[in-house]
Chains A and B, each alone.
Chain A
Amino acid sequence: MIPLSHYLLLSLALFSIGVAGVLLRRSIIIVLMSLELIFNSINLSLVAFAHFLQSMTGRVFVVFTITVAAAEVAVGLAILVAVYRRRKTVYVEELNEMKH
């Protein structure tokens, strides 16, 4: 039987890789993909906990998380398209309007 910590470590690995992607990549689309990775790692740990605590609630919660993630991707990509149309760039560091 696989202990809970294994799942959590895997989740941590995926999460960290996702964070590294967010921090390191310049392309906004890769950043969005990294965000999806982070989402998945969280889902994984949620399901693992639900499994080990014998709870259905955790699983139902994952359904909601996945739905919200899908919504987020849809809106995020739409924003990306809109930004690209206007600025002709997908590099995050060139989008620094928040400074002013």
Chain B
Amino acid sequence: MNIRAFLVLTCLWSACAQAELSIQITQGVDNPIPIAIVPFAWEGDGVLSEDVDQIVMDDLQQVGEFRALSPGNMLSLPNEEREVFFRDWRVLAQDYLLVGKISRAPGSQLVQVQYEFFDINRELKLAGEILTGSVTQLRDIGHEISNVVFELVTGTRGAFTTQILYIVSEQSAGGQTVFRLEKADYDGQRAQVLLESNEPIMSPSWSPNGEDIAYVSFETSLPRIYTQNIATGQRRQITNYPNINSSPVWSPDGTRLAMVLSKDGSPDIYVQDLLNNELIRVTDHPAIDTEPAWSKDGRSIVFMSDRTGQPQIYQMEVGASSFNVERLTYDCFQCMKGQFLPDGVNMVHVRRETRQSPNYQIAVLNIETLRVITLTDTSLDESPSVAPNGSMIMYATKFGGRGVLDAVSIDGRVKFRLPSSTGDVREPAWSPFFN
């Protein structure tokens, strides 16, 4: 068994928790994989603040591929390998079994979580380890176990230890609007405020290693781009050009920021080097060019332009002649906010099909086959952000008149919602993998 150590940090999670979001599965798959997750035994004193097996169950169910057996229907409640009888699970038509127990780590304040994961049909132990951490890290340990289970079953790396950024706006008691930039686990738990302002905050985005973020803040009364280090909180104002400064997006190598500036009259795409501040103009057109997104190789940028009268998505190489533009979308009234999935072929975007139907939906266009799959059926969907494993897309929509965050699987079959208790939530930005 491999033992992984967790750094102990006293972090005041609860003090920072703002809008506690809770998951609601709105749509699942037809034939989910049956998995039995036995409640983990707690061998210490008192009550644990986190329910590790429940965290794993929530993770696996909300991405849709799994259906967890209710503990009330289990014939036995094993906590380790020697208590497992495969027959008990085969009669219940389960494919996989997860068992575990939690105890105090000897001679410390830490806890250790031992888990084991089995393939029922092959009567085989697929994984097992002991994860050690503080009580406040039990949630991370749960997500880590979910990653292991998810990857063993689906072959795809799990994104359960990733995080999201998003913006909340809320009316304060005095009637003023307060804007917050928040960071939370991918499922909305453990929200922390990174920035609060009486002026709008927009367009949060992650650096490729997840250590820094960039965003637009109107705190000087004008939209300007800032970066902020997550660990230290250190901020840096990156731009102070006249007019619009917006849409900062890190290049895949982390050395440059693509952005939108209208200093020369109309919004155009620029790239600024973060070390020497050199600025390269990418697009040069009197129409609106905005919403830059990098190609995977960092050589070209996908962007939106209304140069034909309505927003469509284009691509061009950084440093190429401004005539050398490739148009990627044609068969929509408006196509906006394009971004390639990790496969480099499918492009998620916001789509308004026709002038007559005023619905903005999240769709995926395969730029080789030109096949379009519309993933959502609500009408004000925007700001799609892709999980680093490419399995799900989080986006902003409206529910009951308020802004909420929804996520949909890449095939459109599974949806879940992160409803917040207060305010308008929007502009989700899914983090990269942190390691």
**A, B bound:** no
